[in-house]
Amino acid sequence: MAENNAVAAAEVLARCRAKGLRVATAESCTGGLIAGALTAVAGSSDVVERGFVTYTNEAKHQMLGVPEALFETVGAVSEEVARAMAEGALRHSDADLSVSVTGIAGPGGGTDTKPVGLVHMASARSGAETRHERHVFAGDRQAVRAAAVAAALDLLSRNAG
């Protein structure tokens, strides 16, 4: 998976570089792994603007401006929060394109309506509608996080055009 993520990260960077786009990441359950995959590629500093690791609801609110009411009404692992994270990453950076991830990597924390492996991600781009995806990944914590990174890089690549 890591080798595939390296290829995907290089593709994201090439697409963004060709379009003159700067990228920001907003990560919860992946804990900075998306930014890590991007910055592992030599020369990424001309594309990667910054990364936010917002593991707690408080961090999502303080660093990205996610409305506190969302945590009470829909929960941190939701489409609404993923969208707010991606849009907040654009507002709180000089990036043109962002990706966000919020989910339940496990092994605990899942419920009947929000099982372990549930991940919501979004990608915002200046002047465009924010894209959202919902995934349920199988496997242990490491597998869920690796799959979320791969899916987020794919979403980011597609949104870069």
The string of pLDDT tens digits covering residues 69-93 is 999 999 999 999 999 999 999 999 9
CA–CA dist 138, 90 (Å, integer): 30
Arithmetic mean of pLDDT, 128-154: 97
- Structure-token pair, residue 156: 């980011």
Q: Which amino acid is at 116?
A: V
The string of pLDDT tens digits covering residues 122-139 is 999 999 999 999 999 999
Domain boundaries in the chain? Answer: 2-160
The string of pLDDT tens digits covering residues 3-16 is 788 999 999 999 99
Question: 3.90.950.20, 3.40.50.10740, 3.40.50.800, 3.40.190.10: which CATH number matches 2-160?
Answer: 3.90.950.20
